[in-house]
Amino acid sequence: MNEGGGSGSILTASRLLIIGLVAVIVVLGMALIIQAIARPTAAGVETRVNALATSTDECVACHRRTTPGIVEQYGVSTMAAAGVACRDCHEVPADYPAAVEHEGTHVLPSPTTAMCQKCHGQEVAQFYQSRHSLPAYVAYAGTEVLTPEHLALYEAIPEAEQGPEQMRSVLFDLEDKRLTRLACEACHSIGLPAEDGSVGKCQKCHLRHEFSLEQARKPETCNNCHIGPDHPQWEIYQESPHGIAYMTQGDRWNWEADAGTLTVNDFPAPTCAICHMSGFGPTGTTHDVGDRLTWYLFAPISERRPAWEDNRVRMQGVCRECHNANFLNEFYAAADEATEAVNEYVHESDRIMAPLIEQNLLTAEPFDEPIDFTYFELWHHWGRTAKFGVWMQGPDYTQWHGVYEVLSDLAELRELAEQRLEAGMTGGEGAASGDGGAGSGRPSP
């Protein structure tokens, strides 16, 4: 770097470089120390006690060597502190379904809901009443694959079924199974039946092995599934005033407060879990996520749920901790009207399609011509998004990803339908037979 210089100036240069580096390291180090002292969360993390630090339990002792991460994570959990052992979730009798032989006993590699149920009967019972359980599985697999016991459990859920078109998704049958198991099934397995007959995966929300309340309460937990063009609840939440409060101030909220005791002092604004699950104000904690809903918003044409008025009382009980009655009545009245307005747009799309169906001008196959996709996306993506945007305070989703796209699809549908009527024939072979093929009805979601 120094053209004419001898070894002396190289030495000086490298000495300067070293001094410079040391200075940078010292400054950076001090900055880090200051940051660590200033950040309250960092201090909180360090105070966590590992309840298994001195455990002599066989499973723990060996797994401390073989899977130290698991022991470390479980060690800081509330359950470990309460004395719940590895065996409580993993150990089963030899003849238990899916048991594997392990170190002189038998274990489940993936503990089922039945294991949690031993100690958390109430959470499991509520979960079983919800659409997160069997209905989520039936959404792609259909009811035909259910055992008689599961069918009975499914039919006992008041909100299980919502019209025959909701029964089973055509897309699941249509798409390559090598893909659907990593797509539909990845999300809908929240309600997957296990070999032992119990249902669902609690670990979809309670990530192992910390089983932390903070993690389950944070909205990112839900965005594993509640995301994307057809159910963008996460995106909507992010643009809502509630989501903005979470993102700008959430690091100060009381994430680990005991369940059932939460107040506005712990959470000045709600997350998904607060509105849909947490005990807040007069409303009790629930694992039935349908317990506070008034409409079937996911349906093409939204209808009221059974017991919707009681559900509304429970949801508004949460809102009432932060908003007054007038504000809420006006909000609910406006949101009800907006829901009905989306219903009318979807009815309109049905009217456009009706003559094509009557005159057998659609192919028998679903999702094999562009008009099928337009007709589907109109309600499945944009109509739903508009409704979700309305109910969860996301105006951009109500407008530009919602009603505007509905209008655009209506225009496209009209043009496609007119062309088809004029041509008076189907686009290709496989014209619908007299009964009106699967392609002519509204495809399932």
Q: Give, as ranges, the residues between 144 and 173 that touch ligand HEC (CB under 6 A).
A: 159, 166, 169, 171-172
Q: Between 280 and 356, whose beta carbon lies closer to ligand HEC?
A: 280
The answer to whether the CB of 394 falls within 8 A of the CB of 388 is: yes
ω into residue 188 within 30 of 0, thus cis? no
Q: Does 131 bind ligand HEC (CB under 6 A)?
A: yes
Q: Does 273 bind ligand HEC (CB under 6 A)?
A: yes
CA distance 375 to 413: 7
Kindly identify the residues of this chain, within the stretch 416-435, that bind ligand HEC according to CB under 6 A: none
Q: What is the 3-state secondary structure (H, E, C) of the chain?
A: CCCCCCHHHHHHHHHHHHHHHHHHHHHHHHHHHHHHHHCHHHHHHHCCCCCCCCCCCHHHHHHHHHCHHHHHHHHCCHHHHCCCCHHHHHECCCCCCCCEEECCEEECCCCCHHHHHCCCHHHHHHHHCCCCCHHHHHHHHCCCCCCHHHHHHHHCCCCCCCCHHHCCCHHHHHCCHHHHCCCHHHHHHHHCECCCCCECCHHHCCCCCCCCHHHHHCHHHHCCCCCCCCCCHHHHHHHCHHHHHHHHHHHHCCCCCCCCCECCCCCCCCCHHHHHCCCECCECCCCCCCCCCCECCCCCCCCECCCHHHHHHHHHHHHCCCCCHHHHHHHHHHHHHHHHHHHHHHHHHHHHHHHHHHCCCCECCCCCCHHHHHHHHHHHHHHHHHHHHHHCCCHHHHHHHHHHHHHHHHHHHHHHHHHHHHHCCCCCCCECCCCCCCCCCCCCC
- 346-365 mask for ligand HEC (x: CB under 6 A)? --------------------
Q: Does 255 bind ligand HEC (CB under 6 A)?
A: no
Of 245, 341, 357, 431, which one interacts with ligand HEC (CB under 6 A)? 245
In whole angstroms, the minimum distance from the beta carbon of 413 to ligand HEC comes to: 22
Q: Does 319 bind ligand HEC (CB under 6 A)?
A: yes
Among positive and negative, which fits the CA dihedral 366, 368, 369, 370?
positive
Q: Does 32 bind ligand HEC (CB under 6 A)?
A: no
Q: Between 99 and 361, whose beta carbon lies closer to ligand HEC?
A: 99
Of 287, 381, 420, 442, which one interacts with ligand HEC (CB under 6 A)? 287
Q: Does 438 bind ligand HEC (CB under 6 A)?
A: no
Q: Which of 230, 219, 223 is nearest to 402 (CA)?
A: 230
Window of 147-155, 385-393, 402-410, 412-420 that interacts with ligand HEC by CB under 6 A: 385-393
In whole angstroms, the minimum distance from the beta carbon of 304 to ligand HEC comes to: 9
Of 226, 381, 420, 442, which one interacts with ligand HEC (CB under 6 A)? 226
Residue with tokens 């019209």: 163
Q: Does 241 bind ligand HEC (CB under 6 A)?
A: yes
Q: Does 315 bind ligand HEC (CB under 6 A)?
A: yes
Q: Which of 300, 338, 257 is nearest to 441 (CA)?
A: 300
Window of 3-11, 225-233, 361-369, 417-425 that interacts with ligand HEC by CB under 6 A: 225-233
Report residue 113: phi and psi, to 5°: -60, -30
Of 193, 194, 253, 270, which one interacts with ligand HEC (CB under 6 A)? 270
Q: Does 228 bind ligand HEC (CB under 6 A)?
A: yes
Q: Between 211 and 345, whose beta carbon lies closer to ligand HEC?
A: 211
Q: Between 77 and 374, whose beta carbon lies closer to ligand HEC?
A: 77
Q: Does 444 bind ligand HEC (CB under 6 A)?
A: yes
In whole angstroms, the minimum distance from the beta carbon of 73 to ligand HEC comes to: 8
In whole angstroms, the minimum distance from the beta carbon of 296 to ligand HEC comes to: 5
In whole angstroms, the minimum distance from the beta carbon of 378 to ligand HEC comes to: 16
Q: Could you tell me how many residues of this chain bind ligand HEC (CB under 6 A)? A: 120
Q: Does 102 bind ligand HEC (CB under 6 A)?
A: yes
CA distance 392 to 242: 9
Residue 149 tokens, joined = 């016991």
Kindly identify the residues of this chain, within the stretch 179-218, that bind ligand HEC according to CB under 6 A: 180, 183-184, 186-188, 190, 200, 202-206, 208-209, 211, 213, 216-217
In whole angstroms, the minimum distance from the beta carbon of 97 to ligand HEC comes to: 14
Kindly identify the residues of this chain, within the stretch 38-97, that bind ligand HEC according to CB under 6 A: 58-60, 62-63, 66-67, 70-71, 74, 78-79, 82, 84, 86-91
Q: Does 372 bind ligand HEC (CB under 6 A)?
A: no
Q: Does 177 bind ligand HEC (CB under 6 A)?
A: no
In whole angstroms, the minimum distance from the beta carbon of 335 to ligand HEC comes to: 7
